Structure 1
């Protein structure tokens, strides 16, 4: 009988954030608006880069990938969460849970590596500007982007396969907003210390390694900026990195706080809020950060809006 019970259940129950109906309705409206803004904002960034030839550079090629990752990451979590906020039976089938874990973990890993790649791009642009075109050629950019997608996907596939081999017996209540890996591992009715070590090791490899590369890149960048004689030159060099540095602080900061920590902290509620911040707020803020802090993007928006505003008068003529 013990062997029969040590299997995965057919569906899980996501406990979510609240059981109060009024709170759930309010959260549904809030998260729906934020999700729509996230998808629209990232889609517009991709469209803008596609339409404006001045943005056909390595930096904006990587930004296109980042926007696609952000929109996809939010989509892997938020629609299911919205349905559960209004549903009485908050169940998610086993295969759907596995798919959600795979895609959210893969897209999160891809984003970390992409941010490291973008840091390298900024390093070349600031530290060796005369060789920028020769170093950051199309072939290298494509290979770096493919490496980001493949490494994140392989890491996620490995963890998904290992996690869903653990027996849960009769445990089916996931105390989280989604099928997050740590929350799913906690359902196992066997010792999961080896799984937690594996998660920690892969977090160090896929999270801390790119983070260290980002730090090294910005140490060199800051050192180069401080050597620039003119104040205007220093400001210009800093502005080329400001948007990326802000996004790095948001993404890596929340991920490190979530995964690289003692087991006793944070609380389950804190984990839910951190995951919520990372799943909704960060993907929503990224296109805003690049739009508001980047002169080239703002210029492209003004040019595009100018074309649309001039269209009615041309049609009338």
Structure 2
């Protein structure tokens, strides 16, 4: 089996096409023939070694990728009839264990992390859903706002931010979101009630719309302490890069770790059905051959991507650098 991964950490150029043993599903696991894998910032962090501690001393090669869409090829023992061979599925993949990540022709994942793909979505679109939407769902759960309360979302034009806006509106929240001028129409279309200009001083602009501060803030722009002034005393902040404060004024900081929810089958399936009914919008920026994973990482690092870059694994992998 071929996969795209790294034997050493570094820039995009360290990504290589690897020949790996064919995986076999054990009890309660599913073997998936991958057709598409989304490219996320977490993948670049794995590639650079920023998350090396999560491997717990396991040696390379390491295969990135947390979002996969494909077809069930085999079921391990103990998997119930919720899944079947030949079924179109999506999976939230945790790439730090010995099974590796989603940039592979075939992956084995716990059955609990696999749900039917949204009806009407092709494989590239379906692959863009679970990691970012589940991160947004976990963030909103941690913030625990009530219908009618106000949420601010930074980085609202990104994948996490866009899903946070849409899920918050589905939860009955008022949403103030940030955007660059070119993205304002997009963010409004996602459902934001009010849009302010993005930037390090976005908290001041949010306060003009919510003079007492917002009840909670989902920080997709990774502003951390710069976001705190937008939040009301006793309010909540959800962050996606592990920052834990300090925060004053009794503001609670919630680091979001999506891997802890990778086996929450009910929540994953709910997200897939929300993509199916139009509550969530699947956004593909570009599809590249999997052998061009290095180029996908370069494009992601360059910024300005709206939607997700997706690797096509349906046609196999060529020899040589990725």
* TMscore range, shorter length: under 0.3
TM-score (norm: length of structure 1): 0.23
Q: Which has the higher helix share?
A: 1
TM-score (norm: length of structure 2): 0.22
Q: Which has the higher contact order (CA 8 A, sep 6+)?
A: 1
Determine which structure has more spread, i.e. the larger CA radius of gyration. Answer: 1
